[in-house]
Copies of this chain bind each other. A is one copy, B any other.
Amino acid sequence: MKALVYHGPGKRSWEEKPKPTILKPTDAVVRVERTTICGTDLHILKGDVPEVTDGRILGHEGLGVVEEVGSAVSNFKKGDRVLISCITSDGKCDACKRGMYSHCADGGWILGHLIDGTQAEYVRIPHADNSLYAVPKGVDEDALVMLSDILPTGFEVGVLNGKVKPGDTVAIVGSGPIGLAALITAQLFSPAALIMVDLDDNRLEAAMKLGATSAVNSGDGKAAEKVKALTGGAGVDVAIEAVGIPATFDLCQEMVAAGGHVANVGVHGKSVLLKLEKLWAHNVTITTGLVDTYTTPMLLKSVTSNRIQPRKLITHEFKLGELMKAYDTFGDAAKEKALKVIIRRE
C-alpha cells in the first residue's frame, strides 16, 4: 500500500509500505477513507519529536472502513465505518479506568508516533473496541475527521478544563485550528463573550465567522489590556492558551479575573514564569492536559444533531495520492489561509 513516511528531520515521502495485519486479538485493520494533517505532524517533521523514528508512517486522525478484526474485538466487524481516535485506549489499565486515556499504559498517543499512523491506505488500530467509534448514518464524514483530535482537544483541554459556563467571558489566545476548535465547542455552553486573540488578521476573521464575539490582534503587545477593557476591567472568567509559548501563557495569566480559570492547551517546549506574587491571592485555577477523547461520543451526538459544524474548519481538499501536496499547503498555512485540510481516498 501507499503511505506518507517520515525519514528524519525535513524528509517525508509518499511510498510503498506493507499493508498492516492483525498482531493482537484486540487489533483491527482499517481501510482509510479520510485523513488530515495536524500541527503536530509538522513538529515531527521539524525533528521536534525525537521518539518518531525513520520509516514511521505519520498521521493520527482519520475515518475508514473496518477491513479485519482480531478475535477479541466485539464492538466492530468487517465493513463497519469507523472514526479513528488519535488516542489508543486499552480500557483496563488504571489510567483508563479513571478516564485518563491519554495516559493509557498500553496506548495514549501512539498512532503516527510510536506505531504507524493513518496517512496511508490502511492502518492497524490496537485496542480497537476502545479506540474506534461507529460512524452514525448520514453524517458528513469530512466533518467527523475533525473529531479524531482537534475537537476533543479544544473541548476537553480548553473548554471543559476551563469550566466554561453560560454567561462567562472567555478569551482564547491562538486562533489556529486548535483555538478555533475550542471556539466552536465553547459555544456548546453559551458563554456571553468569546474573545479571540491572535497575530494574524486572517485567522481572526475566520474566528469571527465561527462565532467569536470580539477579535483582538496581539501584535501591538497590548492584548491583555484590550481584553480587560472588553470585560469592564475585570478580566475574563476563562483564558484558554492555544499556542504553546511563554508569551501567550503570560497573556492568559494577565487577563484572567479573580476566581477564573487558565486552561493550557498549547504544547510547550520551555518553562514559563508563573506570577504567584500576584496570583496567590487571586483564586485562580490553571490546568494542563493531553486530550483523553472521553467526550468523543458526546461530540458525535453534537455533530449529528447539528449543534456544532466542524466542517467549517476545512479550507482545503485533497486526494489521498496528493498527500505530499497537502503537506506543502498545510505547512504554509498563513500564506495559503489554511486551517484544516481534508484528504479523501478518492
Residues of A at the B interface (CB closer than 8 Å) are 25-26, 71-72, 74-75, 90-100, 102-103, 106, 129-130, 161, 165-167, 187-190, 192-193, 213, 244, 249, 258-259, 264, 266-277, 279-290, 292, 294, 297-299, 301-302, 304-305, 307-308
Contact = CB atoms under 8 A, between A and B. Distances in A.
A249 B94 CA distance: 27
Contacts of A304: 192
B276 A98 contact: no
Contacts of A301: 166-167, 192
Contacts of A275: 271
Contacts of A92: 74-75, 91, 129-130
A46 to B, nearest CB: 16
Contacts of A308: 190
A280 B189 contact: no
A277 B269 contact: yes
Contact of A273 (B96, B129, B193, B271): B271
Contacts of A264: 276, 280
B288 A287 contact: no
B272 A167 contact: no
Contact of A281 (B97, B187, B259, B289): B289
A168 to B, nearest CB: 8
A259 B292 CA distance: 11
A297 B169 CA distance: 13
B190 A302 contact: yes
Closest 10 interchain pairs by CB?
A167-B298, A268-B276, A192-B305, A167-B301, A91-B91, A72-B72, A274-B274, A92-B129, A166-B188, A188-B190
